[in-house]
Amino acid sequence: MEVDNGTVLVLITVLVLPIAAVAFARSGGAWRRIGKGDFAIEQEPAPRHPEPAHVERAVQEAEARQMLEARSYRLQRAGQPPLDVEAEVRKLLEGTGDGAPSVDDELRDEVRRLVIAGNERRLRRGQEPLDVEAETNRQLAQFA
């Protein structure tokens, strides 16, 4: 009696499929244990948003001054007037002494418009609107 290849494949599939299903069901948490054990290196995952390191004001000033001096030098080489480095350093670091960053008017205006648009959506859903200034300040504080 001669058996063709298609019949052999069907028989193998019919016999092996239940065995594979039982083996898969009994494996349980084997996939969760891969890479664990006595010789594995257990590491905590890195925090998603690490806290920014505290940098001393003098270091911030020195780095900002170096970058601004380099920018001023490039401007001079391009034939443009140099920057007032000290004024630019003061402007960049203004407000960082107490931990609150300075926010330019364009950013504040954009966040304010977003809050107003959010209030319009809240009103359409029948919810109370948020205080625009308080919500703007809260969202700007998240950038710190």
pLDDT digits (tens, 9 = 90+) for 103-114: 678 888 999 999
What value does the mean pLDDT take over residues 93-110? 69
Q: Can you tell me whether residue 132 is helix, strand or coil? A: helix
pLDDT category of residue 13 using cuts at 50, 70 and 90: very high
Percent pLDDT > 70 in the chain is 84
What value does the mean pLDDT take over residues 31-45? 72
Q: Which residue's entry shows tokens 């003098």?
A: 58
Single pTM value for the model: 0.36
What value does the mean pLDDT take over residues 87-99? 71
| 26-47 exposure pattern, b = at least 16 Cβ within 10 A, e = fewer | eeeeeeeeeeeeeeeeeeeeee
Q: 37 near 54, Cβ under 8 Å?
A: no
Instruction: State the amino acid at position 84 in one-letter form.
Output: D
Domain ranges of the chain: 55-100, 103-144
Q: 71 near 83, Cβ under 8 Å?
A: yes
**Helical (H) or strand (E) element with 121:** helix 105-124
Instruction: State the amino acid at position 76 in one-letter form.
Output: Q
Q: Which residues are CB-neighbours of 70 under 8 A, at least 6 positions away? A: none
Mean predicted lDDT score pLDDT of the chain: 84
Q: How far is CA 2 from the centre of its chain?
A: 65
* Burial (Cβ within 10 Å: 0-12, 13-18, ≥19) of residue 69: middle
